[in-house]
Structure 1
Amino acid sequence: MDRVPITPRGYEALKKELTQLVSVERPLVIKAIEEARAHGDLSENAEFEAAKERQAFIEARANELKFKLGNADIIDPDKLPRDRAVFASRVLLANVDTGEEVEYQLVGPDESDIKEGRISVASPLGRAIIGRRPGDEIVLEAPAGKRTYELVEIR
């Protein structure tokens, strides 16, 4: 299995979610199952079915998080080259047509949050930015039409 790049912030967020699932959510759902069982006939017990479905979700997500954490390759943004855009880089882009500037950090799919300025390296824009250098032009075919950016700076 290949290692999966992740920022320290993203790694900590996955660890926090796993801890929440295992130490808070799992005990709550076990208690809910026990309480639903106490109501008797399980064949027509909606509370029991809902609790079992929640338990299955929690266990699946916990296993997924353990796998991701076990295969994580933590990339420290402070130790990255500044001459080209790579995973975890912070880039400043300028829209060639409007002059509007936006800053993004290139992250993995589990960390992406456009509102926080984190875009996935797997997204169309993320793929277009990777490997580029300051001064390079980036052309993105968007649903609303073609957009052209200049990579102003790698921070």
Structure 2
Amino acid sequence: MSSKVSYYTEEGLNKLKNELSHLKTKGRSQIAAQIAEARDKGDLSENAEYDAAKDAQGLLELKISKLEEIVSNARLLDESTIDTSKASILTKVKIKNKKTGHIVEYTLVSEEEADLKAGRISLKSPIGKALLGREVGETVLVDVPAGKIEFEILDIGR
């Protein structure tokens, strides 16, 4: 398994840690209760409930181990040191669609913290990749499922 360092805001890292804690406590105890309940119903060789509970336990443990790896490789970003001369992680980038004139503002974040409704897009998304390292005034061409869109970078901030 290759470990890769990911950068998070304090809020994003706390959210991950809380989810991990929840899965290790409540998640494990709920699965244990399901297994015990299924075991009490008799013959385990033909007990679909028991098999389903054991499968759920395996999936839960897999999710826990993946989250543990993510948390152990997570690094906290110091938002005060972010260079706003170029688009980078945690910068707010205001862009204008050159064809429609529509203006949107996105915060560039790690893949795990992306939330389009909240205006947070992943650095790995087509728009995120196109904006990365660019400066105010530059025009970027983005390949999206609908074709190519040209954006002008209007502002970069925090």
Same fold (TM over 0.5): yes
Could you tell me how far 1:70 is from its partner in structure 2?
0.6
Matches within 5 A, 1:1-155: 1-155=3-157
Task: Render the CA deviation track for 1:88-117: whole Å, top value 9, x for unaligned.
Answer: 211111111111111111111111121221
Task: Render the CA deviation track for 1:56-103: whole Å, top value 9, x for unaligned.
Answer: 111111111111111111113343111111112111111111111111
Q: What letter is aligned with 2:46?
A: E
TM-score by length of structure 1 reads: 0.93
Percent identity, please: 38
Contact 1:93 1:153 in 2 (8 A): yes
Would you identify which runs of 4 or more consecutive aligned residues in structure 1 move more than 6 Å?
none
Cα distance in 2, alignment partners of residues 129 and 9 from structure 1: 23
Provide structure 2 residue ranges, at least 5 long, that are not aligned to the other structure. Answer: none
Moved more, 32-41 or 78-87: 78-87
| Aligned residue pairs, count | 155
Structural RMSD (CA): 1.3
Cα distance in 2, alignment partners of residues 149 and 8 from structure 1: 30
TM-score by length of structure 2 reads: 0.92
Provide structure 1 residue ranges, at least 5 long, that are not aligned to the other structure. Answer: none
